[in-house]
Amino acid sequence: MTLSRVRGEVKSLLKARKLGVSTPALYHVDIDASAIIMEHINGKSVKAMLREDVLEDATAILLMQAIAEQIVKLHDGGLVHGDLTTSNMLVVVDPGNTMKILIIDFGLSYNSTFPEDKAVDLYVLERAFASAHAEKGAQYFEAFMDAYKKKSRFWSSTFNRFAEVRMRGRKRAMIG
């Protein structure tokens, strides 16, 4: 990992936490060794949890709402994740059986308030749901988008761009 990537990931992680996004705690950064030491999270990736297919539909909807809440905090705060997949989201279930979502891997994150950049983030997530969760991926993503719309102050411009990004992605898929 390069020095600039380590610094960038640390800055993005700290900004995300400042925005109220749940992330692992940052304990130590060793620039010379290009190492970031973070809290160990005892949880499962959203990808693994959804693949187990043990969630009732109502619980899966609550999970999508919790994910949307975290992503809206990022996006409305001017931070784009850059690799928004279900592998980069952890689910921790507390003793009271409440699910908490933590966002991880800020290595490709960057600051941006442009709807295009947020829309690309959402498109990457849509593709992740479609490829990793084929049977219910569209349903999960629709629930996520409904929750995102309800929580985001800037959802309209992001959704307009998302439609354009999605069309470009489909055209590329047909060509390739």
Q: Enumerate the active-site residues.
A: 83
Query: What is the distance between the alpha carbons of residues 132 and 43, in angstroms, rounded to a whole number?
Result: 19
Q: Which helix (H) or strand (E) holds 108?
A: none
Q: In what order do the strands lie in the sheet with 89-93?
A: 44-45, 89-93, 99-103
Query: What is the distance between the alpha carbons of residues 12 and 8, in angstroms, rounded to a whole number?
Result: 6
Q: DSSP assignment of 42-60, as one string?
A: -SEEHHHHHHHT-S-HHHH
Cβ-based neighbour number of residue 17 at 10 Å? 15
